[in-house]
């Protein structure tokens, strides 16, 4: 069992190794694609198990700030960006579609896990992810209506509801275990849980990189621009939210909100995309994983948490 705490202590490097392996060995990455959804669910369960999900719930007047942040990030910001892309005539490009989808999405289910690896408050990260996912059926439809690639917004709403059911079910199971089997989440067990979470997230990133390795090998000219766009979509919202939140919140709480703002769940929208559009944005999807999983290396320095 001593191996798991060691893995947790080196979690940032485990994720970096997963990125490298996923890019360097495309057949392995593609073979692991069917594991993506189960691994996402597992990472969420482990994060909820190690951290009391109810501890970070907003109280009283705090609700207005949480709801305001969510609506600003998932509704107002993507609508403004979509309007600008239409005005520039690039709304139907891979970069345009990818940018709007990222900004319209809720935080990834691995947000609490990234918070753990970064030194942020995992309870706050989990709270923001759950609330944002609950509001997604309302915020996604007007944003996705701005894209010419969605013939049926109902499919997106159905996908959001499915994700919400999964999140509530997984968090509920974790709460039940914390209540009836408290020895499993006693302080000595937390490093063990963190080690398992590190392994799960390291394997997950391998499966997400299937399109990036081939693009790199063939010298795809779009690759550098998509990687740069991915970093911008991740770091700019994260830093903006952190600086705004730091004025009234402890640094770990502000960092948790920043991680939620910068790491969004594109997977929900993929099933609703027309096949030809999905094929077009697969490379962008892989590129977007790079700043997400480099986050535990980059963000502590930007937030000065470690």
pLDDT digits (tens, 9 = 90+) for 83-112: 999 999 998 899 999 999 999 998 987 788
CA distance 52 to 60: 19
1 band by pLDDT with thresholds 50, 70 and 90: low
What number does CATH give the domain 3-303?
Answer: 1.20.1530.20
Q: Name which residue leads in pLDDT, 46 or 80.
A: 80
The per-residue DSSP string of 164-177 comes to HHHHHHHHHHHHHH
The mean predicted confidence, pLDDT, of the chain is 86
For the stretch 160-202, pLDDT in tens is 677 678 878 888 899 899 999 999 889 889 899 989 989 998 8
Q: What percent of the chain shows pLDDT beyond 70? A: 92
Domain boundaries, the chain: 3-303
Contact 100, 146 (CB under 8 A): yes
Q: What angle do CA 247, 63, 239 make, to 5 degrees?
A: 35
- What pLDDT does residue 9 have? 86
């Amino acid at each position: 069992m001593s191996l798991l705490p060691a893995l947790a202590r080196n979690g940032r490097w485990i994720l970096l190794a997963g990125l490298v392996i996923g890019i360097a060995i495309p057949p392995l990455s593609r073979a692991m694609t069917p594991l993506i959804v189960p691994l996402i669910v597992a990472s969420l369960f482990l994060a909820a198990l190690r951290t009391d999900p109810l501890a970070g719930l907003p109280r009283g007047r705090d609700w207005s700030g949480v709801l305001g942040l969510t609506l600003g990030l998932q509704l107002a910001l993507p609508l403004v960006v979509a309007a600008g892309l239409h005005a520039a005539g690039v709304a139907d490009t891979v970069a345009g579609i990818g940018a709007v989808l990222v900004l319209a999405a809720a935080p990834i289910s691995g947000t609490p896990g990234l918070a753990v690896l970064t030194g942020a408050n995992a309870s706050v990260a989990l709270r923001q992810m759950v609330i944002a996912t609950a509001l997604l059926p309302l915020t996604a439809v007007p944003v996705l209506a701005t894209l010419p690639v969605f013939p049926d917004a109902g499919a997106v709403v159905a996908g959001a509801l499915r994700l919400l059911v999964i999140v509530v079910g997984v968090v509920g199971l974790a709460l039940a275990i914390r209540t009836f089997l408290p020895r499993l989440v006693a302080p000595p067990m937390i490093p063990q849980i963190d080690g398992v979470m590190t392994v799960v997230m390291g394997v997950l990133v391998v499966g997400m990189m299937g399109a990036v390795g081939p693009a790199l090998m063939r010298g795809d000219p779009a690759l550098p621009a998509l990687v740069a766009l991915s970093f911008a979509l991740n770091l700019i919202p994260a830093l903006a939210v952190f600086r705004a939140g730091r004025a009234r919140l402890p640094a770990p709480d502000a960092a948790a909100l920043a991680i939620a703002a910068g790491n969004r769940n594109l997977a929900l929208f993929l099933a609703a995309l027309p096949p030809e559009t999905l094929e077009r944005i697969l490379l962008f999807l892989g590129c977007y994983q790079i700043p997400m999983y480099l986050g535990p290396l980059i963000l502590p320095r930007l937030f000065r948490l470690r």
